[in-house]
């Protein structure tokens, strides 16, 4: 299953609302996760089940979607949110990831 993330990069300011989308090449129900990755670090789980916030993750992060179209929204971008974000499908094996979205400071 191929996952297409967009945009591949974006520039935003602190306080901005940011939305990243992920489209699956076939239906994956709600078996989608979102991760945040900072340079030199392992991915960090933000959202699972397409819309469930992982424990300890700030409530400014939210996920939505089902089937083939999904989105990750950051309601008010904070300095620590500048990172690369990946979606991952867990519907079927082999597990696959989107190409990533790099969120940079404007």
Q: Which of 1, 10, 45, 71 binds other proteins (CB under 8 A)?
A: 45
| Distance separating the N- and C-terminal Cα atoms of the chain | 33
54 touching other proteins, by CB under 8 A: yes
**Cα 76 from Cα 72, distance rounded (Å):** 12
**In sequence order, what are the residues at sequence separation of 6 or more whose Cβ sits closer than 8 angstroms to the Cβ of residue 69?**
21, 22, 23, 24
Q: Which span sits near other proteins by CB under 8 A: 15-23, 42-50, 69-77?
A: 42-50
3 versus 18: smaller Cβ distance to other proteins: 3
86 touching other proteins, by CB under 8 A: yes
Q: Which of 13, 15, 59, 93 binds other proteins (CB under 8 A)?
A: 93
Q: Which of 62, 64, 31, 26 is nearest to 46 (CA)?
A: 62
CB 101 within 8 A of CB 5: yes
Q: Which residues bind other proteins (CB under 8 A)?
A: 31, 33, 41-45, 48-49, 54, 86, 88, 90-91, 93-100
């Amino acid at each position: 299953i191929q996952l297409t993330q967009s945009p591949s990069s974006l520039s935003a300011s602190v306080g901005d609302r940011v939305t990243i989308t992920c489209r699956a090449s076939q239906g994956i129900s709600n078996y989608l996760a979102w991760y945040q990755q900072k340079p030199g670090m392992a991915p960090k789980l933000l959202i699972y089940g397409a819309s469930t916030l992982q424990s300890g993750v700030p409530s400014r992060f939210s996920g939505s979607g089902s089937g083939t179209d999904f989105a990750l929204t950051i309601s008010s971008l904070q300095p620590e949110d500048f990172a690369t974000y990946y979606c991952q499908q867990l519907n079927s094996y082999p597990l696959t990831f989107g190409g990533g979205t790099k969120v940079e400071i404007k």
